[in-house]
Amino acid sequence: MENRPTGDLIRLLTEPKSGAECFHSNGHVLGPTLLDFWRWSTSDLVSNVTRGRLAEFIVASALGLSTVGVRDEWSPFDLQTKDGVKVEVKSAAYIQSWFQSKLSAISFRTPKTRAFDAGTNSHESEARRQADVYVFALLKHQDKNTIDPLNVDQWEFYVVPTADLDRRVRSQYGITLPSLIKLCTPVDFNGLQAAVSRAAHR
């Protein structure tokens, strides 16, 4: 028998959770809470996936953007400033959660993509970079004993107009730290907002 959906299959609208929500069995509370899940799944802030989302949050905070809502998993770019500048955030780090024989080499992926529309479940026909500005967030700290991704002083940020990436004659799929340094000077958390504004108006 064919499994047919019930109800409307439009995109879900997600409301922020408090963390106090309980796991349950048809209303019968089981004990664990959503906060328990968050602690279990995302406490490793150095891990690649969690660090990437944390970097977006840090950049949003530096740009003065509201973080009260819910991160849009399917947006073609990561953030949008109050002036309408679309921002893509990429992260990298020297320190990883796993055993290392040496510090990680720093590089960032910058491929062109076909934007996905979660409202229609469709992609754009043309691949391109969706944002106006790229922020490359580097967790620069190199001591595993004192690494703390919540300390914004352990980060530095390289801000590049998308047009500069499009003009590169080398790889269009990624960029190394030495190549980034040729394009811009890193800024700290407090200098990020001005750097994004400058890059957007170049």
What are the C-alpha distances in Å from 1 to residues 4, 8, 201?
A: 9, 21, 58
Domain ranges of the chain: 45-115+122-200
SS3 label, residue 193: helix
Confidence of residue 7 (pLDDT cuts 50, 70, 90): low
- The pLDDT tens digits for 132-187 are 999 999 999 999 999 999 999 999 999 999 999 999 877 788 999 999 999 999 99
Q: pTM of the predicted model, to two decimals?
A: 0.91
pLDDT of residue 111: 87
Q: How far is CA 136 from the centre of its chain?
A: 10
